[in-house]
A and B are shown apart, each in its own frame.
Chain A
Amino acid sequence: MQFMLLFSRQGKLRLQKWYVPLSDKEKKKITRELVQTVLARKPKMCSFLEWRDLKIVYKRYASLYFCCAIEDQDNELITLEIIHRYVELLDKYFGSVCELDIIFNFEKAYFILDEFLLGGEVQETSKKNVLKAIEQADLLQEDKNAYCPRAFFLYVASTDAIGCPGGSWLFMKPCCYGHS
């Protein structure tokens, strides 16, 4: 995988992870171009598209688009499930994750991603093992308080005052998702 982007329906970038070295300018350009392309697609269209010499795999969860760029010989369907597994991980960790969780606890989202994907490849596919690693790390935090999902709310909100996106759950209907 070359990179992963999370962006909202309004086109705001929520999380980015690059597994290939690129300049900031290049990253911005790619992001802008891809966000436009993906947002312009209709819901029933297929989740894969060719873009430059890469394949783009994307999926929409509620208000968020998850978008991965993979190489020519990589498997599209399994990438789609990488996205889904990541969403499951977020969901399990945050407890019914929504866009706000990712905005205000972006560092957790990054840590979970690092445990799941490293260098663009799947590191650990077991949900239990990934969450165990994260929970262990949380335990090591000095303030032994239970994890508070909105802890960074005020802090980040003051820096990102441009408007608060909706807080809809990434899994729109809990019943269509059967992890619990």
Chain B
Amino acid sequence: MVTCLEGLTHVLSAVASCCESEGYNQTIGLEDPESLARETVFSVSEIEALYELFKKISSAVIDDGLINKEEFQLALFKTNTKECLFADRVFDLFDTKQNGMLDFEEFARALSVFHPNAPLEDKIDFSFQLYDLKQQGFIERQEVKQMVVATLAESGMNLSDDVIESVLDKTFEEADTKQDGKIDKEEWRNLVLRHPSLLKNMTLQYLNDITTTFPSFVFHSQVDDT
């Protein structure tokens, strides 16, 4: 009975401290680069350089240390009037706290997946969630069609419905090995392992060079010179 109560208090205090440091308060400013570096693929210098990028993006419309949807669109498209299915999806995945804003922690954690050194499994995971528009745990043919149509519309390429259907046919023929009209996580993994180029946009080479792109971090750095 006593051990049970002890266990319970332990759990409760763990939950409380978790809420305090992570879930409920947005971290404004770069409080703890070392801990972020530990939890991501980035080095402390890279976290600091990334923070410079974050400051640039997050101050574009409202200077509040957070990236809202408009600022995200601005950074991606250089215009904030463009509605985009994909940008919405990406923003949504970055926004792990689901409050419509990205703080630096969410920004760094999400971008960590795009680092050349990030585990392949993370990239496979992220891309699957990206394309799973309705978040049902599988990618439906309708969802793929929606994304193909959106991509074509963006580039002003008009293809007939027949042609689009035939592209989908070929894709599902290859991907949908269980032949149930949907692509589940396992089928997705097999597909991208056969076609690594499908994960091309899940790696940003720029992240390798980020400390040279944003060298001003050196002046604010907490890293010792020794």
Real binding pair: no
Interface positions of B (Cβ within 8 A of A): none
Interface positions of A (Cβ within 8 A of B): none
